[in-house]
Structure 1
Amino acid sequence: MKRKIRLIMRYSAALLLAVSIIAPMLWLFLMSVSSAADLTRIPLEWLPREWDFSRYLSLLSLEPGKPGTLFLHALANSLLIAGGATLISLLLAIPAAYSFSRYPGRDGWLFGSLAIYMVPPVAFVLPLYFILQQLSLLNTHFGLILVYCSMILPFLTWMLKNQFDALPLDIEQASRLDGLRYWQVLLRITLPLAKPALGASALFGWLLAWDEFFYALLFTNNIEAQTLPVTIAGFTAGRATDDGLIAAVGILAAIPPLLIAICLQRTLVSGLTSGGSKG
């Protein structure tokens, strides 16, 4: 009897979690295919009387005057900036995390970087703005990539350091006895073992850059480098806001992270659980 009760409670909790995640996205989709009359009808109706997919067509069109010219350009900017920042941060975080993990006594530097990471972003606005201005990197892709690297790098270093701590040292020591150098041990032994952790870390770093709004708003002033969160906010700037269009943008903006998470599903799960215990 107790086993059945536990099973029921477990499935009920899983169902509640699934509903809490899916329900907002389902409501967002229903808003995106509802007409303006359905969105303003009182009392509210859960299902639209007329299913309107024209907003998706306009967002995926490059025809002049359509919102797709802004959306698709911002989508490309977000993919480029988030991907570039994640790649650079990952390449720098791997040797940094390995150094912190294998050579004790340097934790002060790691905690210092994390302390800076925890400072509110508004505190760095003026220094970063002056640096980008002096380097002529305002309103550029590379400028935002550098800013995002300063945000992602401490996070990835900390996450990978914990994963490297969980890997057994016996294999690395045996490789050193066989004549491999430190960088060869890292490339040939440690990184293949830490592949799931690398995938999970890269995904979380990419999401940090993909969802970032504050710096992108301040350091860009036109569509040349504006990211998707800033462009979505721009759709609400007019006097008459199309709530259905904003909902459609939200649905389309959620597709790239969803596809990446599906592709890295096995890596993500194993990477999150591999650091739970030391081997």
Structure 2
Amino acid sequence: MERKNPIFTAFVYVCALLLAAVILAPLVWLFVMSISPAADLAAKPLRWWPQAVDFSRYGVLLSRAENSAGAAFTSSLVNSIEVSGMATIAAIALAIPSAWAVSRTPSVGWSLYMVIATYMLPPVALAVPLYMTLAYFGMLNNVFGLALVYLTILAPFTTWLMKSGFDSIPREIESAAMIDGASLFATLRIITLPLAAPVMATSALFAFLLAWDEFFYALLFTSDQRAKTLTVAIADLAGGRVSDYGLIATAGVLAALPPVVIGLVMQQALISGLTSGGVKG
């Protein structure tokens, strides 16, 4: 058995630690800002750790008092969960048959490139037609209307991602099931979809994160707390004459928690989904 070069191993660990530091440093500083008094944030030179830890901002944002910053934040949190959840479920429901059809019918593979082309369009190019469509159907400032808008972003991406997952599943398995008398629907339900579960979970996670972080359409198509999402609510915190950067940081920490928790819970499925398309079964 060949022994690994200890110098190379140490180099890999050092690079990994540096990468982790680059990724985690902004998150750590965001948390430090959220627990720092305003005087510490305005101090010169800047204090890297507060003299007195202050968690009061978390109480402010999680408060449900009427007409408070907490009420606006929690309302936006619920809106973000609803919009992201609806858009993700709809995108996966559309992507499963679309991706499977393209994977099993190479002659129509060109259609996938057309789907991806719509994903490559800049959001501003679709802003006017989407706005006019939502206005016509009375769905402006509506969580369902915003979810439909997000679907135009998520459906192409999830279709492309899931197609690679279906490609890794041998067609012979499906053919054998059909020879044994299984219908197409039964074959998909019993064999194909369970095998594609990791890539489906990965697609759902990425779709949820894309919808959760989207700002442009949420800003354009919402106007009050009935449909405002977290990204717009956090921007509103910085819109006044005097901005509480600690409060903005606190909102950022709270907004990051749901995706982080979901990512940790689905970690194994995420790894399996990302690697499933790399090996042809």
TM-score of Structure 1 vs Structure 2, range by shorter chain: over 0.9
The count of residues paired between Structure 1 and Structure 2 equals 279
- Let me know the Cα RMSD of the aligned residues: 1.1
Alignment match, 2:181 = 179
Q: Distance in 1 between matches of 2:79 and 2:99?
A: 29
Alignment match, 1:62 = 64
TM-score normalised according to structure 1 size? 0.98
Q: Of residues 144, 156, 159 in structure 1, which corresponds to 2:161?
A: 159
Alignment match, 1:266 = 268
Alpha-carbon shift at residue 66 of structure 1 (Å): 2.9
Q: Distance in 2 between matches of 1:6 and 1:171?
A: 43
Alignment match, 2:196 = 194
Alpha-carbon shift at residue 149 of structure 1 (Å): 0.7
Q: Distance in 1 between matches of 2:66 and 2:4?
A: 64
Q: Distance in 2 between matches of 1:117 and 1:107?
A: 16
- Deviation track 1:106-133 (CA, whole Å, cap 9, x = no partner) reads 1222111111110111011110011111
SS class of match (1:44) = coil
Q: Distance in 2 between matches of 1:247 and 1:108?
A: 45
Q: Distance in 2 between matches of 1:180 and 1:2?
A: 50
Q: Which amino acid aligns with 1:211?
A: D
Alignment match, 1:113 = 115
Alignment match, 2:11 = 9
- Deviation track 1:224-251 (CA, whole Å, cap 9, x = no partner) reads 0011000100001100000000000000
Q: Which amino acid aligns with 1:234?
A: D
Q: Distance in 2 between matches of 1:199 and 1:21?
A: 24
Q: Which amino acid aligns with 1:216?
A: A
Alignment match, 1:87 = 89
Q: Distance in 1 between matches of 2:276 and 2:92?
A: 18
Q: Which runs of 4+ in 1 moved over 4 A?
A: none
Alignment match, 2:138 = 136
C-alpha distance 74-267 of structure 1, shift in aligned 2 (>3 A)? same
SS class of match (1:224) = coil
SS class of match (1:93) = helix
1:49 paired with 2:77, answer no
Q: Of residues 56, 77, 80 in structure 1, which corresponds to 2:79?
A: 77
- Deviation track 1:126-146 (CA, whole Å, cap 9, x = no partner) reads 100111111110000110011
Alignment match, 2:255 = 253
- Deviation track 1:34-76 (CA, whole Å, cap 9, x = no partner) reads 1111001111111101111100011111113431101100000
SS class of match (1:105) = helix
Alignment match, 2:21 = 19
Q: Distance in 1 between matches of 2:141 and 2:67?
A: 23
1:123 paired with 2:125, answer yes
Percent identity of equivalent pairs? 50
C-alpha distance 231-126 of structure 1, shift in aligned 2 (>3 A)? same
Which structure 1 segments of 5+ residues have no match?
A: none
Q: Distance in 1 between matches of 2:164 and 2:277?
A: 7
SS class of match (2:5) = helix
TM-score normalised according to structure 2 size? 0.97
Contact 2:103 2:109 in 1 (8 A): no
Alpha-carbon shift at residue 2 of structure 1 (Å): 6.8
Q: Distance in 2 between matches of 1:103 and 1:180?
A: 20
Q: Distance in 2 between matches of 1:171 and 1:65?
A: 59
Q: Which amino acid aligns with 2:56?
A: S
Q: Which amino acid aligns with 2:47?
A: E
